[in-house]
Amino acid sequence: MEALGLVYIASALLIGLGALGTAIGFGTLGGKLLEGSARQPEQAPALQGKMFLMAGLLDAVPMIGVGIAMYLIFAVAPGLV
């Protein structure tokens, strides 16, 4: 029972901290895009393309974390009950 609780806490930390990191990263990224677009409007399309690249890099690790959390909840936890 204690192990089950630890599995749920680990999953919550994986999802929560992953979401927090992505939120901070996207906040910074979006803010910089607005700043860059305001300074140099002609560069806006290029900045948007680069933001797409950075967004892919940014959210990959949290997404893998979410996948591992789902594995812990739906594949590991039922075996501990």
Active site members = 59
> Which bin fits 27, alpha (ψ -120 to 50), beta or left (φ > 0)?
alpha
Please report whether residue 50 would count as binding another protein according to CB under 8 A: yes
Pick the binder of another protein from 1, 52, 79, 81 (CB under 8 A). 52
Q: Using DSSP, state whether 29 is helix, strand or coil.
A: helix
Pick the binder of another protein from 4, 7, 10, 15 (CB under 8 A). 15
Quote the radius of gyration of the chain (alpha carbons, Å). Answer: 18
Please report whether residue 10 would count as binding another protein according to CB under 8 A: no
Q: How far does Cα 49 stand from its chain's mean position?
A: 19
> What is the C-alpha separation between 43 and 22, in angstroms, rounded?
25
Q: Which residues bind another protein (CB under 8 A)?
A: 15, 19, 22, 26, 29-30, 33-34, 37-38, 41-42, 44-46, 48-53, 55-57, 59-60, 62-64, 66-68, 70-71, 73-75
